[in-house]
Amino acid sequence: MDASALSVHPQAAEPIYRQIVGQLRRMIVSGQLSAGESLPSVRDVAGFHAINPMTVSRAYSMLEAEGVLHRLRGVGMVVASTNRGALPLEGRMTLLDPQLQHIARQARELELPGEAVLRRLNHFLRE
C-alpha cells in the first residue's frame, strides 16, 4: 500500500484522523489489506496529502491501541496478524448502515423521490 491509496478531505466535517482510521478499517475488513501488510510511513502519508504528521500518527496510534495495527521495529506499521481478514458481504454492508440511514432521513426531509436518490447513488458508485 502507498500513501495515495488514502483519500483525505480537509474541508470535510469529519476530522482527518478519523477519515484515515475509517478508510484503513474498511480496507482491512474488505480484504484490500491483509495481515502483515505494511502501511506507508507517517511521513509519507503526511507529505503526500500535505497534512500534519501528528494527524497521521494519531490515526495509526488509535488503530494500534485497538489491535488493528502492529508496530514492527525497523519496518513500521503493519496490519495485525490477529485480524480475521475480510468480512463476508453482509458484514461489510452493515458498515454502511449508519450513513445510509442518514441519507434516507435527509431524502425524506427534502421530499425527494427514492428513484432519484438511487440514480444519484448509482452515479457516485460508478465514479
Look at the block and give the residue holding cell 519496518. Answer: 75
Look at residue 102 and tell me if it is in a domain. yes
In the chain, how many domains are there? Answer: 2
Output the CA torsion 100→103→104→110 (10° steps): -170
pLDDT in tens, 42-71: 999 999 999 999 999 999 999 999 888 999
| CA 103 to chain CA mean position, Å | 19
Question: How high does pLDDT run on average in the chain?
Answer: 89
Give the whole-angstrom CA distance, residue 113 versus residue 59: 38
Per the structure, the complete domain to which residue 118 belongs is given by 96-126
Quick one: average pLDDT of 78-104? 76
- State yes or no: pLDDT of 82 exceeds 70: no
Look at residue 40 and tell me if it is in a domain. yes
Res. 88 pLDDT band, cuts 50 70 90: low
Output the CA torsion 78→82→85→88 (10° steps): -140
Q: Is the pTM of this model over 0.75?
A: no
Give the whole-angstrom CA distance, residue 125 versus residue 67: 31
